[in-house]
Each structure stands twice: as structure tokens, then as C-alpha cells.
A and B are shown apart, each in its own frame.
Chain A
Amino acid sequence: MTKIISDIIITSFIVFVLIFSLFRSNDSFSSFVEGVKDGIKISIKIFPNVFALILAVELFIKTGAVEMFETFLGPIFNKLGIFQESLGLIMIKPFSGSASYVVLKDIFEKFGPDSQIGIYSSIICASTETLFYVITTYLACTRVKKTRYLIPVAIAVDFIVLLVAAFLVKNGLK
């Protein structure tokens, strides 16, 4: 059902862009081609950085480093009021959107989507971002070497989101 909504949004967006362009009578085809050239340039520019990041993340996930973190950090997060069972999701999400959905599906299978943990996981998965991936891709095209306070602020904001969501789920939302 919602898959349909998402398909409708994307399709109608594209149709709208095309019809708008038709009425403005510019050369849609060559515009699109120019855009594709841009896209290829962007992709090539960000390739080394994205590749390096994904490589490190693959190692991090596959070697079981995530599980290691879970056993250490779990109790601390629990004390802070954050659901310990969602820790895997919390750790993967900043790096990879697709991997985080795999973790979320595991949580749904184990606890059910309507359990407190399921609802908490849904909320944080949708309201946090793949922040290390975003930082890497967005900075790849600039000559920036030092990110100054960017990463600390991004992590702090993520943390606030985790806490507020936990508070919501524990007080009221069922």
C-alpha cells in the first residue's frame, strides 16, 4: 500500500518535471544529457572517498566488531534509557542505510514491529541519518580536510534523537 504511495510520489514528480519543461519549451533531451554528464562527474569525484568508507564499514560489520561494541556499550545505553536491543541498529545506521534495514528487519522478526523495541527501532531508523556516509559524500567534492565541529555536533544531535525517542516510547506511545 505505502509502496504504491512512494511510487506515486516519485512518478508524479518526474512527470511534473517533464511537463513543466515541455511548457517552458526548452530542449529537455539535451538538458537531461547535460545532467547525466554532471552526475557522472560527481560520481567519479566521490568514488575514492565512498569506496574507502564502505570498505572500512564492511570490515566493521563482517568481523563482528559490532557485536563486540554491543556487549560493552549495551549496559551503558540501557542506563541512559535507550533500548539496548536497538544498539546494533544505532551503530550501523550512521554508515549504511541498506545495512540498517537488514538489522531493523531482524529486530522486527525477533520482537515484532508493534513491540516497544520494534516501535523505538522504527522511529530512530527513520529519524536519524546515515551521517558518516553523508559527511563523506558531501565533502568529497570539496578540498576540505578538517571538519572542525561537524562530526561532534552530528553525533550529539543523533544522541539527542535517541534519548527523546526513548522517552516518547516509554511514556505514552504503546
Chain B
Amino acid sequence: MNAFWLFLILFSILVQVINGDINKITTILFSAPKTALQIFVTIACSIILWSGFLRLAQDSGLIKILERFLKPILSLLFKTKNEEAFKWMSTNIIANLLGLGNAATPAGIKAMEELSKENSKDFASSDMILFVILNTCSIQLIPTTMIMLRHEYGSENPTVVLFPILFVSLVGLFFGIIFCKVISRVLRR
């Protein structure tokens, strides 16, 4: 992440220098923190709101019921025996499936915290990596925003992309799981 972050910033500045507009760098550099803060506030607000509802769902036992459906599948994929981790992973996956992306984030972070409790090292465990990969595969049953946007821009068939999106995401998910499993096995030897 370190090398990557440095590359993003240095490359951006380099491009601007090549384009010969050096004074624009400072303009962008000083306005960027403000934008970053604004974006963060939006993200934080949705995390706070959904954390509230998630806690409600947790305390009422709703999440336990959801967990019962997903745990058999998840325990095939993950090595952890941590009940809390399973609970939050299930919540995260269900929120993702429903397209409640904002609700998925706090549950996902909590799951990661639980998974990292079993991992005292400074590198990510294979369970942690697999869980993040599942989250980057973006499985949604109804990609509402996309269909809405296509409709807005005058598409004659906004829903034509539904099946391809599902299919392509599943292919990604399949390879994600295979890669993770194979690599973690090879590394362990």
C-alpha cells in the first residue's frame, strides 16, 4: 500500500510538471484535503447511521437468524472458529446481496476486527484476505443504481445488463475464491 500510495502522488505531480502547469499542483494540493474531508464526512455519516441499525438488528437477534443460513457455507470457506466473526461476515454478505452497500461497510469492518484478533502478526491472515476478496467481487442481486442510471440516460432496455452483471460477478467470485485457496495452500506448503 505504501509504494502504491507514493506512486499515485508522485506520478500525478510528474504528469502535471510534464504538462508544464506547475502552479496548478499547489492549487490541487490545497483543495484536495477539503474534498477528501467532505467525502469522508459523507462516508462517516452513512457508517454511523447503519451501525445504529445493525446494532438494533444484532440486539434483537435478527442477525443470529441470518447467520444460521450462511454459516454452513462460510465455515466451508473460512478457517476461523470465531462466532462473532461469522456473525458479522454473514451480515456483511447479506447487506451486499441486498445492495445496501453502506450497511455492508460497518459489518465488514467489524468482521475484520474479529478476524484480526486471531492474528497477532503484522501481515494479513488468509481468512482476512479471502474476506476482503469476497467484498471486492461485488455480488448484487439487483444493481439498482446502474439500472436507474441507464434509464435516466434514455436506454431502451435498462435491464439488459442484469444477467451479464450477475454472471460476470459470479465468475469473479469463483476465481477470487480459487486464487485465495490455492495461494494460501502453496504458501503454507
Contacts and interface: CB of A to CB of B under 8 A. Distances in A.
B15 A63 contact: yes
Range of interface residues on A (Cβ < 8 Å): 35 or more
Contacts, number: 320
Contacts of A68: 15
B77 interface: no
Interface string B133-176: 10111101011111111110111111011001101110110011
Nearest to A43: B44
Contacts of A138: 108-109, 112, 131-132, 135
Interface string A121-165: 011111111011011111111111111111101101110110011
Given A36-B51, A142-B128, A143-B122, A55 B32 contact: yes
B135 A134 contact: yes
* Main SS class of interface, B: helix
Given A26-B59, A59-B9, A134-B136, A165 B168 contact: yes
Most buried by B among A123, A138, A139: A138
Nearest to A41: B51
A75 interface: no
A53 B14 CA distance: 18
Given A138-B112, A168-B164, A168-B168, A54 B47 contact: no
B47 A59 contact: no
Nearest to B95: A13
Interface string A53-70: 111111110111100100
Contact of A58 (B35, B52, B105): B35
Interface of B: 1, 4-5, 8-9, 11-13, 15-16, 19, 24-25, 28-29, 31-33, 35-37, 39-40, 43-44, 47-62, 98-100, 105-106, 108-110, 112-113, 115-116, 119, 122-124, 128-129, 131-133, 135-138, 140, 142-151, 153-158, 160-161, 164-165, 167-169, 171-172, 175-176, 179-180, 183-184, 187
19 contacts: A2-B144, A5-B142, A6-B148, A43-B43, A56-B9, A59-B29, A62-B28, A68-B15, A118-B150, A119-B164, A126-B161, A127-B168, A127-B172, A148-B124, A148-B187, A151-B4, A153-B129, A154-B133, A154-B136
Given A20-B60, A122-B150, 9 more contacts: A28-B56, A54-B32, A54-B35, A59-B13, A63-B13, A101-B145, A113-B158, A127-B172, A160-B172
Interface of A: 1-3, 5-6, 9-10, 13-14, 17-18, 20-21, 24, 26, 28, 31-36, 38-40, 42-43, 46-47, 50-60, 62-65, 68, 96, 98, 101, 104-105, 108-109, 112-114, 118-119, 122-129, 131-132, 134-151, 153-154, 156-158, 160-161, 164-165, 168-169, 173
